Amino acid sequence: MTLPLPPLREVIARHGLSASKALGQNFLFDERLLDRIAAVPGPLEGRHVLEVGPGPGGLTRALLRAGAHVTAIEMDRRCMPALAEVEEAFPGRLRVIQGDALKIDPATLFDGPYAVVANLPYNVGTALFTGWLSGEAWPPQWTSLTLMFQEEVARRIVSAPDTSAYGRLAVLAQWRSRAKLAMKVHRSAFTPPPKVMSAIVHVEPAEVPAGVSMRMLERVTEAAFGQRRKMLRQSLKGLPGALEALATLGIDAQRRAETLTVAEFVALARVLS
Ligand code: SAM
């Protein structure tokens, strides 16, 4: 049995939650949109969810309506009273932690698997995203990542070879995960509206290719995309064994980084690992 909650706009006004630019605050109020976002990870009934940056709690409410047990990390102290009201309305299903998500290890918060859902500021979101994807242990403890990004960043994450968006982020997101663009979100959906469009990316762990170290894959993509306009024989020159590895794999050294498939990067890292 849940108690009714006041509309978010009223909550914001009552608690004086003017959006802070420094904290990258752009709030979502449309319940139907929030329910659609909460549906992206699939059925949440009884599942554990880590939400980063709940703000006044719009997405948090949607996740709770979907039946999840939510642990939310929010940096802004001013949001605590509003989140306490949400906690009261969904007894025993919301745990709020006040702090910086970049400094909290989620492994200390969960015993078992959890899904991540977040609408975060761009810089924090990208830092957390690459951190979650770079863990040594695979499959990771998280079962999926459902994250709001600027549309341009979302496109880079899901991009295919031979496109200008394709780069290190795509390889990182795709070499042992499935990444898809789940939905676009118009800038006018936010208060205040950001300058650019947004999109939600959904990532699920996939099988890890054998014999490849994450560290080596990072080195290869860093070198290759560090000089993306150059041919591989130039950009990979400084990486010991890389030119021989290209020859072994039959990859033409005259190609440029953005033409290599994720599987080709993986094969290259495997030979070098
Ligand atoms: N989830 C809410 C929504 O969709 O309406 C708020 C989204 S707003 C774009 C981002 C939220 O992340 C803000 O509430 C902000 O205070 C919070 N935040 C920013 N940096 C953070 C950090 N390092 N750790 C935790 N929360 C952070």
pLDDT tens across 245-255, in order?
999 999 999 99
Give the DSSP H/E element, type plus range, for residue 260: none
How high does pLDDT run on average in the chain?
Answer: 96
Q: Can you tell me the distance from the alpha carbon of 205 to that of 217, in angstroms, rounded to the nearest whole number? A: 17
Confidence band (pLDDT; 50, 70, 90) for 3?
low
Radius of gyration of the chain (CA): 21
| Mean pLDDT of all residues in 154-161 | 98
Q: Can you tell me the distance from the alpha carbon of 189 to that of 28, in angstroms, rounded to the nearest whole number? A: 6
Q: Can you tell me the distance from the alpha carbon of 154 to that of 164, in angstroms, rounded to the nearest whole number? A: 13
Looking at residue 2, its pLDDT comes to 61
| Mean pLDDT of all residues in 92-121 | 97
- Asked whether residue 241 carries a pLDDT value surpassing 70, the answer given is yes
- Asked whether residue 216 carries a pLDDT value surpassing 90, the answer given is yes
Pocket (CB within 6 angstroms of ligand 1): 23-28, 52-55, 58-59, 73-76, 79, 100-102, 119-121, 124
Confidence band (pLDDT; 50, 70, 90) for 19?
confident
Q: Can you tell me the distance from the alpha carbon of 211 to that of 204, in angstroms, rounded to the nearest whole number? A: 21
Count of other CB atoms within 10 angstroms of residue 188: 9
| Mean pLDDT of all residues in 188-199 | 96
Q: pTM of the prediction? A: 0.95
- Distance from the CA of 229 to the center of ligand 1, in angstroms? 36
- Asked whether residue 1 carries a pLDDT value surpassing 80, the answer given is no
Q: Can you tell me the distance from the alpha carbon of 54 to that of 42, in angstroms, rounded to the nearest whole number? A: 20
Q: Of 120, 148, 198, which is best to mutate to test ligand 1, by the most ligand atoms within 8 angstroms of its C-beta?
A: 120
Question: What is the per-residue pLDDT across 118-148, written as a single tens digit (0 to 9) for each?
Answer: 999 888 999 999 999 999 899 999 999 999 9
Count of other CB atoms within 10 angstroms of residue 31: 14
Q: Can you tell me the distance from the alpha carbon of 193 to that of 198, in angstroms, rounded to the nearest whole number? A: 10
- Work out whether strand 177-185 and strand 48-52 pair parallel, antiparallel, or are unpaired: unpaired
Task: With both helix axes pointing from N to C terminus, report the angle between 242-249 and 262-272 in degrees, rounded to the nearest 10.
Answer: 120
Looking at residue 31, its pLDDT comes to 95
